[in-house]
Amino acid sequence: MKLKVVYRKVSDYIRHDLKEIVLPSSLPDPPHVVKRRKLTWHERFLVLKEASRLYAASWVRDIGPELRPNDYKKQGDAEPKKQAKDTEKEPSVLEDLAVAARGGMETLRPALHRVYMTRASNYKDALASFVKGYHEGVQQVMQNKEEAQVPKDESSDNSKKTS
């Protein structure tokens, strides 16, 4: 009898109190909120199926039609030709790195060096243009100050000459 009481108290503690200590519940919902019913297993499966379809579609949009060419044939014959012309352009940096990574460290090192050198030259150009613009701004401010001081000096020179 005592074992049954101890078991019930421990199970109640684990089920209610421990759960509340580890994961405290938020404030209760206001009275006007209607709780939704639980989904059936079939409905859960349909939700999971739709979510995974949308997730996969987002990856296809990001990566491109190469992974799923059958989906792009449905759009019409003109679209894939346009996309093929667009993809014939120079490969992007990510594509270049992906191809280099497949080739191993010998091909990856020059590709990474090229990326870093391109970034460095872009930063250098941006910094040079900022410095040039800053100097132009300083020169304009200095010219404005000189122009503001010149009339005052001339007016004081004119008053000395008349007296």
CA distance 103 to 106: 7
- Kindly report which listed range (2-11, 23-32, 76-85, 91-100) carries the lowest average pLDDT score: 76-85
- Secondary structure of residue 84 in the 3-state scheme: helix
The alpha carbon of residue 124 and the mean position of all alpha carbons in its chain are separated, in whole angstroms, by: 25
The per-type count for the chain, helices as H runs and strands as E runs, is 7, 0
Query: Do residues 60 and 67 lie in contact, with contact meaning Cβ atoms separated by under 8 Å?
Result: yes
Query: pLDDT tens digit string along 45-103?
Result: 999 999 988 888 777 665 655 555 555 555 555 555 555 555 566 667 777 777 777 77
This prediction's pTM? 0.34
Could you tell me which residues come within 8 angstroms of residue 67 by beta carbon, excluding any fewer than 6 positions away? 59, 60
pLDDT over 90 (residue 44): yes
Query: Do residues 72 and 79 lie in contact, with contact meaning Cβ atoms separated by under 8 Å?
Result: yes
